[in-house]
């Protein structure tokens, strides 16, 4: 009997198989590239872009808005309409997120304190362009940054085609850097040619992109260090094996390192899904990649909904899809996932392609502490304090002076007490 495409595994085994998002090999490769671009700017950027085939020798590295607009104008009307529709849904969701934040002002002894919300000034948005160019990632990152109020946005992507350039135009990017990999991340972080040193660098990429983001993370903000993409489907006997298999394969075809997982309340469902996987792979153009990725994942059979919830929370997957009869009841009980898809109708691919929520998500269990890329990634909370009445502020001033002396910082205490004179 041939080996199963999706092997039975324990939750502990699946968790133990996760590697770090950034391994030593990727760091060793990325570090000299990042340093070269930091030190030599555009000349080093061009050397690596040409070496890795991002651009031909002497080819344009920096693409201005006029070229982006021409690419947009050259699209078929239907293609342009779809790009604009997806961008509008992403923008609408981001605007709703932004409205959830606002300024704060409270009374303190002798005055007021509060915060303002302020956007970052410059953002670098990375979009993969290797095995599968992802104009959707251009929209997810750049539209969200612009909605947050970021003034200057550059997109970096290797060998951008017309659809990617058009997506950058729709998103309102100020330019495109036609380069990928660690050298592109370094250029966004440190600046190169017309690309400014950005305040934040975001977007998905391969292990070298992720390593470079870690290396520049002390200089600029980053969204997250994301590893291989993941999907866990929590299903019961009511789930369609055809649909479950299709959803697992949609995730598996991303990358040979992708991790598709089925958590099943019904032991017989796993065999039916296995048969569907084989049938669908036979006619899937991306079958070689998807088949390899299935080997990274597995099937976990659970005996109760509670056990399934615990399994999903332990996995803390990037994407969690609920193909359950009582999905609405289970959803609020789940604590850890990057994005949740409630019910069989809410396919993960609908999230990938612009239902509204962002598809740049934490992986490798980091959903326990991280959330999706959002307008919040591009915003800062700026606090302020104003004291108008020193006499009324005496309790605050005296407490500050006391704390200064408790901590051995006499100048702090004297600075506070000056306000009593």
Instruction: Please give the Cα distance from 228 to 155 (Å, whole number).
Output: 22
Which residue of the set 253, 274, 318, 348 is catalytic? Answer: 318
Instruction: Kindly tell me the sign of the dihedral angle through the C-alpha atoms of 121, 376, 231, 137.
Output: negative
Active site residue 319: yes
Two tokens at 176? 């495109």
Confirm if 132 and 206 have CB atoms less than 8 A apart: no
CB 212 within 8 A of CB 220: no
8 is catalytic: no
CB 346 within 8 A of CB 321: yes
Phi/psi at 81 (5° precision)? -60, -40
Return the percent helix, strand and coil in the chain, to nearest 5. Answer: 45, 15, 35
Contact 134, 128 (CB under 8 A): yes
The β-bridge relationship of strands 152-156 and 122-126 is parallel
DSSP readout, 116-159? EEEE-SEEEEE---SSS--HHHHIIIIIHHHHHT-SEEEEE-SS
Sign of CA dihedral 71, 75, 77, 78: negative
Catalytic residue among 276, 319, 348, 359: 319
* Positions marked active-site: 318-319
């Amino acid at each position: 009997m041939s080996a199963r495409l999706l092997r039975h595994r324990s939750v502990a085994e699946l968790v133990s198989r996760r590697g770090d998002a950034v391994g030593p090999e990727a760091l060793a490769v990325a570090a000299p590239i990042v340093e070269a671009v930091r030190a030599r700017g555009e000349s080093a950027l061009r050397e690596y872009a040409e070496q890795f085939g991002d651009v031909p020798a002497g080819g344009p590295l920096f693409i201005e808005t006029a070229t982006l607009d021409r690419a947009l104008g050259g699209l078929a009307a239907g293609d342009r309409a779809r790009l604009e529709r997806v961008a509008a849904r992403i923008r609408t969701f981001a605007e709703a997120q932004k409205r959830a934040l606002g300024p704060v002002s409270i009374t303190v002894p002798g005055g007021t304190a509060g915060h303002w919300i302020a956007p970052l000034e410059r953002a670098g948005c990375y979009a993969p362009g290797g095995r599968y160019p992802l104009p959707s990632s251009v929209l997810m990152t750049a539209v969200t940054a612009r909605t947050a109020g970021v003034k200057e946005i550059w997109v970096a992507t290797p060998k951008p085609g017309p659809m990617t350039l058009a997506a950058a135009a729709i998103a309102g990017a100020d330019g495109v850097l036609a380069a990928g990999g660690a050298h592109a991340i370094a250029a966004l972080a440190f600046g190169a040619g017309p690309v400014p040193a950005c305040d934040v660098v975001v977007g998905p990429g391969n292990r070298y992109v992720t390593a470079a983001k870690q290396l520049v993370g002390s200089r600029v903000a980053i969204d997250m260090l994301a590893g291989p993409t993941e999907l866990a489907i929590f299903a019961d006997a009511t789930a369609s094996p055809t649909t479950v298999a299709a959803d697992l394969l949609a995730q598996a075809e991303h990358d040979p390192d992708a991790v598709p997982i089925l958590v099943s309340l019904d032991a017989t469902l796993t065999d039916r899904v296995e048969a569907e996987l084989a049938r669908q792979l036979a006619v899937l153009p991306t079958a070689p990649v998807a088949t390899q990725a299935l080997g990274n994942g597995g099937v976990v059979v659970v005996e109760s909904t509670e056990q399934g919830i615990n399994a999903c929370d332990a996995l803390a997957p990037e994407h969690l899809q609920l193909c359950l009869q009582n999905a609405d009841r289970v959803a609020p009980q789940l604590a850890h996932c990057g994005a949740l898809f409630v019910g069989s109708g809410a396919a993960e691919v609908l999230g990938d392609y612009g239902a509204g929520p962002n598809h740049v998500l934490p992986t490798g269990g980091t959903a326990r502490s991280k959330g999706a890329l959002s307008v919040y990634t591009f915003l800062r909370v700026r606090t302020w304090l104003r004291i108008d009445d020193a006499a009324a502020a005496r309790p605050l001033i005296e407490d500050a002076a006391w704390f200064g002396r408790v901590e051995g910082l006499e100048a702090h205490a004297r600075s506070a007490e000056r306000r009593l004179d």
